[in-house]
Amino acid sequence: QVQLQESGPGLVKPSETLSLTCTVSGGSISSYYWSWIRQPPGKGLEWIGYISYSGTTNYNPSLESRVTISVDTSKNQFYLNLSSVTAADTAVYYCARQGGYQSPFQHWGQGTLVIVSS
Amino acid sequence: QSALTQPASVSGSPGQSITISCTGTNSDLDTYSYVSWYQQHPGKAPKLMIYDVSRRPSGVSNRFSGSKSGNTASLTISGLQAEDESDYYCSSCTTNSTWVFGGGTKLTVL
């Protein structure tokens, strides 16, 4: 059974770059699409973007200017970089797996809370 | 892209049926049948309950069903149980191949 695990700093200063890693175990990162989704405390889910195993990306238009998602198939990991963060970027960040870009988010990580504060 | 529209809350008694609606636009629900529903208990990751409008992943109870008409999708839970009390989110692929979620609906089992 595939498992996803987010990791990265839990505290980021305003204007800096938020960087997270999602490690995939129990299956190969190849042949799937991989998304980042976030949830501010007490609020709803927001899709950030996805990357395919071959490196094709697509981002939420509202975040596109600040987001980069990348993948390292040799490490079975993919990554999120979100630049110029503000308090509004404080959220639980989830990584998730899709079968294809139009497939649902079938497998999720447990999520990691990132707080933006000085 | 705009979030899909869901009611903030719904409620029902054990054994009853409830329906949660999810309204989109011609950029998402009205064009595609790639709508899915997620259940999220407090402090937990979302769980896929319905995908492609009405398909259930393995292991999901057949008390959960989905449908769509035009730009509105619906999740119906029949035979309500206490364990169904949770937040529910709809999601749809868009014409730009991005994804959008609904604002979420809190289900209370009375």
**What is the model's pLDDT at position A12?**
98
From the list B32, B48, B101, the residue facing A46 with the nearest CB is B101
- Cross-chain residue pair B103–A44, CB shorter than 8 Å: yes
Q: Are B52 and B59 in contact (CB under 8 A)?
A: no
Average pLDDT for chain B: 95
Q: How many CB atoms lie within 10 A of CB B82?
A: 8
pLDDT tens profile A19-58:
999 999 999 898 899 999 999 999 999 999 999 988 999 9
Residues 6+ positions from A76 with CB-CB distance below 8 Å? A23, A24, A25, A28, A29
Q: Read off the pLDDT band of B31 (50, 70, 90).
A: confident
Q: Are B12 and B106 in contact (CB under 8 A)?
A: no
- Cross-chain residue pair B51–A104, CB shorter than 8 Å: yes
- Cross-chain residue pair A105–B34, CB shorter than 8 Å: no
Find the residue in A nearest to B48 (Cα). A106
Top pLDDT among A99 and B65 is at B65
Measured CB to CB, residues of chain A less than 8 Å from chain B are 35, 44-47, 49-50, 58-62, 94, 101-106, 108-111
pLDDT tens profile A89-114:
999 999 999 988 999 999 999 999 99
From the list B34, B47, B104, the residue facing A44 with the nearest CB is B104
Q: Taking CB atoms and an 8 Å cutoff, what residues of chain A touch B34?
A: 102-104
pLDDT tens profile B67-97:
999 999 999 999 999 999 999 999 999 989 9
Q: Read off the pLDDT band of A83 (50, 70, 90).
A: very high
- Cross-chain residue pair A44–B36, CB shorter than 8 Å: no
Q: Taking CB atoms and an 8 Å cutoff, what residues of chain B touch A50?
A: 99
Question: Does the pLDDT of residue A115 top 80, yes or no?
Answer: yes
* Burial letters A6-38, b for 16+ CB under 10 A, else e: beeeeebeeeeebebbbbbeeeebeebbbbbbb
**What is the model's pLDDT at position A111?**
98
From the candidates A102, A106, A110, A112, which should be mutated to test the interface with B, based on the most B CB atoms within 10 A?
A102
Q: Taking CB atoms and an 8 Å cutoff, what residues of chain A touch B48?
A: 104-106
**What is the model's pLDDT at position A10?**
95
Tokens of residue B50, six digits: 């319905």
